[in-house]
Amino acid sequence: MVRNGEIGLADAKRVLRRFWWILPITTILLGAIGLGAALVLPKKYTSQTMVLVEQPTVGPDYVKPVVTEDLNHRLASMQEQVLSRTGLQPIIEKFGLYPKDRDRVHIDDLIERLRTAVTIKPMEATPGTQSHQLPGFYVDVTYDNPRTAQQICTEITSMILAQNAGDRQNQVKVTTDFLSQQLEEAKKSLDAQDAKLAQFKRQYLGSLPEEEQTNLSILMGSNTQLEANTQALSRAQQDKAFTESLLSQQEANWAKSQTGQNPETSEQQLSLLQDQLANLLARYTPEHPDVIKLKNQIEELKKQSAAAPKSNTPANGAMQASVSEPPQIQQLRAKLRQDEININDLTHRQSQIQEQIRQLQGRVQASPVVEQQFKELTRNYQTALEFYNDLLKKRQSAGVAGDLETQQQSEQFRVYDPPSLPDKPSFPKKIIFVGGGLGGGFALGLGMLFLIAASDKSLHNERDVELALKLPVLVSVPTLDVAASHAIHTARRAEKTYDAVTTKA
């Protein structure tokens, strides 16, 4: 008797001993059903091809690839595109698939049926390799005709290869076009920054940061020139004043000599000129032009004095009175004009130097502000230049990568195993169906034995009696089996007879 679903070993033995025939019946029956199903169900054939991923012939250290997306993601994207309605409907129409269902089943259902028949499985990497790159993938196509399955597998594989090549070339083109557009905009920005920088240099020419030290040096030289010019102007003004005083004295003396009231003699004029020479020598060197001129005048006066006694007549005096100004006065006038010209030149030069100093001082004072603006423009120009150079390198790299794609030297899909022509159906498999039937039948038999044991309400031992009657067992009477006792008695008699015969022998 089974209580609470608990079956003991004795109960199991008892049920198995009485109903052992259930297990072979259910096992054989369901195994036969599985075999029949394997023979009756429509056959499906699977064509398989293996596609390997070939790495680029030129390493990424030399040519950076444009397509950097993970191959698993790209394969999933290509699978969705190939197995879409646009990709599968032409295959159905090309090979005339599902001819019996074309008229009574919607095309979307047929496309879904074909989609479930196509399987794209990534290939697992070889254990021990450090590369995480996908080595390849398998394409499986299952159909009820082996030849058609092979044709569909070939078509699907070709579509994947074409899709991969098209996607890579399109991505290279899109990348190159985008970089070209960005490069053109970057060039415009760089040209604008270059124009601003050139305009700034023209506007602040002489005030640029690199010219500050030059401006300071020029300013120091200009101050030195201004000081020397000021000294030269002061000397020129003194020379002019001295020449004017000499000219006044000479004019006064000459005027008196013309009116006959000249009390001075040649010796007095010579003494006056010598005094002037002494004053000039006190201020200038003997090589000074004024000193040399005055010496010449003294020598000329000495010559005239020496020749005076020979022509000391009233007629000669009248002739002298009628002549023009003496050479001394003419020379002094010329010297005065030269001093005025010299003073004007020095004054003009002083104004130029002062103006130059003001400009240099303005440049030096404005240098910090100009330097800040110049740094900002230079920084913007350098940023634009670096951005332009970076885009230029990327576009050139994309162009080289595009050449690799055109020459098919980049990452490529290669069909290693062409689509197979299956000679055995992949569904249903007899071993799987028969094995499943036998296993299911054995499990069914065990379940039936469990139900039989669970539904058994008979009493077989003291525990069953105590549980059923809820009373203790005082005495148990063993089972009396007469046939068994007779068999035992007969065996013992035969044994005694054998022993007796043996003893006589």
Residues 282-307 pLDDT 10s? 777 778 777 787 787 778 777 766 76
| Whole-number Å distance between alpha carbons of 68 and 33 | 54
pLDDT tens per residue across span 104-157: 889 999 999 999 999 999 888 766 555 567 788 999 999 999 999 999 999 999
Report the pLDDT value the prediction gives residue 310, as an integer from 0 to 100: 46
Query: What is the overall mean pLDDT for the chain?
Result: 79
Report the pLDDT value the prediction gives residue 321, as an integer from 0 to 100: 40
State the average pLDDT over residues 201-225.
Answer: 81
| Whole-number Å distance between alpha carbons of 380 and 193 | 7
Residue 382 has pLDDT above 60, yes or no: yes
- More confident: 291 or 198: 198
427 touches 44 (CB < 8 A): yes
Report the pLDDT value the prediction gives residue 319, as an integer from 0 to 100: 42
Sign of CA dihedral 106, 107, 108, 109: positive
What are the structural domain ranges in the chain?
Answer: 9-39+429-504, 211-388
175 touches 69 (CB < 8 A): no
- The contacts found for 331-336 with CB under 8 angstroms, 24 or more apart, are 331/293, 331/297, 332/243, 332/246, 332/247, 332/250, 333/247, 335/243, 335/290, 335/293, 336/240, 336/243, 336/244, 336/247
Q: Residue-wise over 50-62: b if at least 16 C-beta within 10 A, else e?
A: bbebeebeeeeee
Q: Name the band, by pLDDT with cuts 50, 70 and 90, for residue 459.
A: low
- More confident: 198 or 11: 198
Residue 195 phi/psi, 5-degree rounding, is -65, -40
Residues sharing a CB contact under 8 Å with residue 33, sequence separation 6 or more, in sequence order: 437
State the average pLDDT over residues 18-31.
Answer: 90
| Whole-number Å distance between alpha carbons of 244 and 236 | 12
137: β partners: 51, 122
Task: Please spell the DSSP secondary structure of 360-396, one letter per residue.
Answer: HHHHHHHHHHHHHHHHHHHHHHHHHHHHHHHHHHHHH
Least confident of 88-97, 235-244, 302-311: 302-311
Q: From edge to edge, which strands make up the β-sheet containing 45-54? A: 118-122, 136-143, 45-54, 412-417
Sign of CA dihedral 432, 437, 442, 443: positive
Amino acid at 371: E
| Whole-number Å distance between alpha carbons of 360 and 365 | 9
Report the pLDDT value the prediction gives residue 184, as an integer from 0 to 100: 92
| Whole-number Å distance between alpha carbons of 35 and 320 | 167
CA dist 423 → 42, 143, 145, 146, 281 (Å) = 15, 13, 10, 7, 135
| Whole-number Å distance between alpha carbons of 148 and 165 | 26
Q: Name the band, by pLDDT with cuts 50, 70 and 90, for residue 317.
A: very low
pTM confidence score: 0.56
Residue 384 has pLDDT above 50, yes or no: yes
Q: Name the band, by pLDDT with cuts 50, 70 and 90, for residue 92.
A: very high
Q: Name the band, by pLDDT with cuts 50, 70 and 90, for residue 316.
A: very low
pLDDT tens per residue across span 342-357: 889 989 988 898 888 8
Amino acid at 292: I
Which secondary-structure segment (H or E) carries 47? strand 45-54
Report the pLDDT value the prediction gives residue 181, as an integer from 0 to 100: 92
| Whole-number Å distance between alpha carbons of 30 and 438 | 6
Task: Please spell the DSSP secondary structure of 227-254, one letter per residue.
Answer: HHHHHHHHHHHHHHHHHHHHHHHHHHHH
State the average pLDDT over residues 305-317.
Answer: 50
Report the pLDDT value the prediction gives residue 323, as an integer from 0 to 100: 47
- More confident: 395 or 280: 395
Least confident of 188-192, 279-283, 323-327: 323-327
441 touches 30 (CB < 8 A): yes
